[in-house]
Amino acid sequence: MKIKRSERLIDMTQYLLTHPHTLTPLTYFVKRYESAKSSISEDLAIIKKTFRQRGTGRLETVPGAAGGVIFTPEMSYEEAKAIVLALCERLSEQDRLLPGGYVYLSDLLGEPQLLKQVGRIIASRYVGKKIDAVMTVATKGVPIAQAVSYYLNVPFVIVRRDSKITEGSTVSVNYVSGSSERIEKMELSKRSLKRGSKVLVVDDFMKGGGTVNGMRALIEEFEAELVGITVFAESTFSGRRMVEEYTSLLCVRDVDTRTKNITVVPGNYFAD
Amino acid sequence: MKIKRSERLIDMTQYLLTHPHTLTPLTYFVKRYESAKSSISEDLAIIKKTFRQRGTGRLETVPGAAGGVIFTPEMSYEEAKAIVLALCERLSEQDRLLPGGYVYLSDLLGEPQLLKQVGRIIASRYVGKKIDAVMTVATKGVPIAQAVSYYLNVPFVIVRRDSKITEGSTVSVNYVSGSSERIEKMELSKRSLKRGSKVLVVDDFMKGGGTVNGMRALIEEFEAELVGITVFAESTFSGRRMVEEYTSLLCVRDVDTRTKNITVVPGNYFAD
């Protein structure tokens, strides 16, 4: 049975979306649909155009024998800004204020649609950069790391503050918790990161930057390379921050524990 | 400018895949593409057919004024079995054996492509059941919960063994750790689960079932309802398991600490 163009377009779209950042040879599709290479090329041109017009991402064709097609998810500045502005509203809800001036985020970090958006926004920031792994610290950083990892199509690794037998041998570092100035310890399973890996660090919240700084030290221990740091939300910090270069999607600018007002603005992702 | 069928098919496929289990009125697409309702209906029929033939999932049209279209991701028994058989091989790798007979899983639980597959397999098990939330326990259950949550399109909640100020008020339960017979404590943020919610429990590994049993107690505390339990891997357990009804994708049948041989077979997901 001959497969129609319409069916190819639907299934190719499905395939490309679920295999981002993966070079797929055109021969794969030729075989999958038992269609001519010229037809597949035409299909890809239509998908490329539609993905660009709808802001889904970039489809690139790599010519040559080792060539193929790569889909890179992207999100436009405008779409990202609209999503983050809506998030600012949600983060400002008064009942999010916890004792000590903390902001409750756990519900947001468990919403699949929101995580997909956040993953796409963060991944868009690193388009064109070589990244081998996403790193975060347990527990609340994990959903962000996984969301980003889905769009970059690279593994994520979880640094832990507690030792677990199920991790095998680990490498640990001590770090200064920025906000409390206490010395703490974090560790990562030895086999989870290869020497020379290019690592993107993500986390849910940054105050003094101590945790992120700890992950930086851990990356050095592994003789790996830090590519960038992006946090879901940062809060204004009165002391000297331990990390200078980072990207934030949201910034908790002010917390008034008396009136329970939380002021949230877009983070430095949108600064330039 | 008139939008062609081919472009509509590509963008609709993208939209449906990223909005599973969501009723979208046809008028949404009519507006989005400035096309006639009859054309949209024809498009959906083509997508429905292709999704079914390729095993992507089920597309259903709900008639009437409050109607629309719903996409339910599915995976065939054969595809799921093939994925799990490949996983059995990977889990049997000798260097996964840790002191105490534990099996190293962290690398697998950080692979985005694998997590997508596992999420789809588990979600397929509950097609047609009403689920309001996915529950797991920190840390290693989180990637599984998030993967399932993406396909079911419901939030996931994370039970913790350690108390964190950023969670606000919590409800806690004591539970007997099945393998060590110790009394431990787990807790969940009070606001993270509504009374009456239908909850699916997932976890990475089950031995005696103590942790899963703790989550069951927690669900009762919240006056919510347990819909089902699925674990990524179970291990054969010599004592009496604390949980009778559960689904496992993989079963670690035997661990020989002397020869370092790990025997892994498909779990009871494939039993019937």
Going from N- to C-terminal start, the domains of chain B cover 5-73, 77-270
A192 vs B143: CB contact, 8 Å cut-off? Answer: no
Q: B153 touching A, CB under 8 A?
A: yes
Reply yes or no on whether the pLDDT at A150 is more than 90.
yes
- The token duo for B224 is 């919510």
Rounded Cα gap, residues B88 and B103, in angstroms:
12
CATH fold match for the domains B5-73 and B77-270: no
**Does residue A175 surpass a pLDDT of 90?**
yes
Q: Which CATH class is domain A5-73?
A: mainly alpha
Q: Across residues A238-243, what is the average pLDDT? A: 82
Pairing mode, strands A133-137 and B57-62 = unpaired
A contact test, residue of B139, B161, B180, B252 with most A CBs within 10 A: B139
Among B230, B203, B206, B22, CA closest to B124: B230
b vs e for A230-254, b when ≥16 Cβ sit within 10 Å of the residue's Cβ? bbbbbbeeeeebbbeebbbbbbbee
Contacts of B184 in chain A (CB under 8 A): none
Q: Give the pLDDT of residue B177.
A: 84
Closest CB from B140, B142, B166 relative to A98: B166
A171/B contact by beta carbon, under 8 A: no
How far is it, in rounded angstroms, from Cα A45 to Cα A25?
A: 15
Question: Which stretches in chain B have pLDDT values below 50?
Answer: none
Nearest to A14 among B17, B107, B116 (CB): B17
Nearest residue, CB atoms, A158 vs list B139, B158, B192: B139
Model confidence pTM above 0.95 = yes
Confidence band of A60 (pLDDT split at 50, 70, 90): very high
Assess whether pLDDT exceeds 80 at residue A193: yes
Which CATH number is associated with domain A77-270? 3.40.50.2020
Distance from CA of A6 to the nearest CA of B (A): 6
Distance from C-alpha of B173 to C-alpha of B191, rounded to nearest angstrom: 16
Output the pLDDT for position A105. 95
Residue range A233-262: mean pLDDT, rounded: 91
CA-angle at A18, arms to A17 and A23, nearest 5°: 80
> What is this model's ipTM?
0.96
Indicate the residue type of B270: F
The mean pLDDT value for A247-251 works out to 98
Please tell me the distance from the alpha carbon of residue B208 to that of residue A39, in angstroms, as a whole number. Answer: 55
Residue A179 has pLDDT above 70, yes or no: no
**Å between A207 CA and nearest CA of chain B:** 13
Token digits of residue B265: 């077979």
Predicted local confidence at residue A65, as pLDDT: 87
**Whole-number percent of chain A with pLDDT over 90:** 86
pLDDT for residue A66 is more than 70: yes
Q: Mean pLDDT score of chain A, rounded to an integer?
A: 94
| Structure tokens belonging to residue A133 | 């792994």
Q: Chain A contact for B25, CB < 8 A?
A: no
What percent of chain A shows pLDDT beyond 70?
98
The shortest CB-CB distance from A110 to any of B17, B99, B157 is to B157
- CA-CA distances (angstroms) from residue A266 to A83, A104, A269, B85, B166? 10, 17, 8, 46, 21
Using the predicted structure, report yes or no on whether residue A238 has a pLDDT greater than 90: no
B3 touches chain A (CB under 8 A): no
CB contact under 8 A, A192 and B146: no
CB A144 within 8 Å of CB A122:
yes
Judging contacts by C-beta atoms under 8 Å, the chain B residues touching residue A149 are 110, 112
Q: Tokens at residue B120, please?
A: 């789809």
Per-position b or e across A147-186, b if 16+ CB within 10 A of its CB: bbbbbbbbbbbbbbbeeeebbbebebbebbbbeeeeeeeb
Assess A104–B contact: CB distance below 8 Å, yes or no.
yes
A170 to chain B: which residues are within 8 Å by CB?
A: none
